[in-house]
Amino acid sequence: MLHSILMADVISSHKKDAAQLLDQFKLTVKAINNQFADTIISPLTITLGDEFQGISTSVSSGVLLILAMEEFILANAFDFKLRYILAQGQIETPINTKNAHEMMGEGLTHARKQLNNLKNKEARFLLTSSTADHIMLTTLNDSFKLYQHFIDSWKVKDYPLVHQFLMNEDYKKIASQLNLNKSTTWRRKKSLLIDEYRTSKNIILNLCKLHDFR
């Protein structure tokens, strides 16, 4: 049986305040585990301080975890970025449903290797699957490149405003809530490419609906 393995690490973690980073990282992992408990087989577990691994019910479910984690980091204005690998593979030992430790298998070895390889590339997201349609999987990975373009264009100081735009599409209401000029708020929405971000995210979600990536 193939399992959907999700691994991630913090980019340039050595440049961050270690205590603050670990607190924020733990909070992020805990929040996603709680939010998606029904679609996580082995919970996301921090392994080396700046890395985590876990097992989701499907690749599509893993994609939802990634998107939710990125928006949680955004919503809390955390100053770190993650690099993800979501891969299908075999796990020969029993699945640990309490934490993602004490498991072995080709799938975990492959995912770890792919995550290490990703460190030499600009992409922060990589999905691999031996059963998914090649064109569909390639399109999904290309869509994540577009998604990354938008989220990486935002500075941490922009996160609170971006979060408001993602929670409410009506810029006039946001301007009123934040006591901002409406024209300025509209221009900020355009310059932050909020609509384009939404489009890239919707493409990813729709691709997952077209193919369940189990």
pLDDT digits (tens, 9 = 90+) for 121-163: 999 999 998 777 788 889 999 999 999 999 999 999 999 999 9
State the alpha helices, DSSP H only, in the chain: 18-35, 59-75, 106-118, 134-151, 159-167, 171-178, 182-191, 194-210
Q: Residue 84's pLDDT is what? A: 98
The Cα–Cα gap between 18 and 24 comes to 10
Tokens 């796990």 belong to which residue?
A: 91
The Cα–Cα gap between 60 and 22 comes to 27
Residue 9 tokens read as 């690490």
The Cα–Cα gap between 51 and 108 comes to 14
> 162 — alpha (psi -120 to 50), left (phi > 0) or beta?
alpha
The Cα–Cα gap between 75 and 166 comes to 10
pLDDT digits (tens, 9 = 90+) for 165-186: 999 988 999 999 888 899 999 9
Q: Is the pLDDT confidence value at 190 over 60?
A: yes
The dotted CATH code for 2-133 is 3.30.70.1230
What is the Cα gyration radius of the chain?
18
Residue spans of the domains in the chain: they are: 2-133
Pairing assessment for the beta strands 2-10 and 40-46 based on DSSP bridges: unpaired
Of 128, 147, 141, nearest to 81 by C-alpha is 147
Predicted TM-score (pTM) of this structure: 0.94
Q: Residue 132's pLDDT is what? A: 72
Phi and psi dihedrals of 50, rounded to 5?
-125, 20
pLDDT digits (tens, 9 = 90+) for 67-87: 999 999 999 999 999 999 999
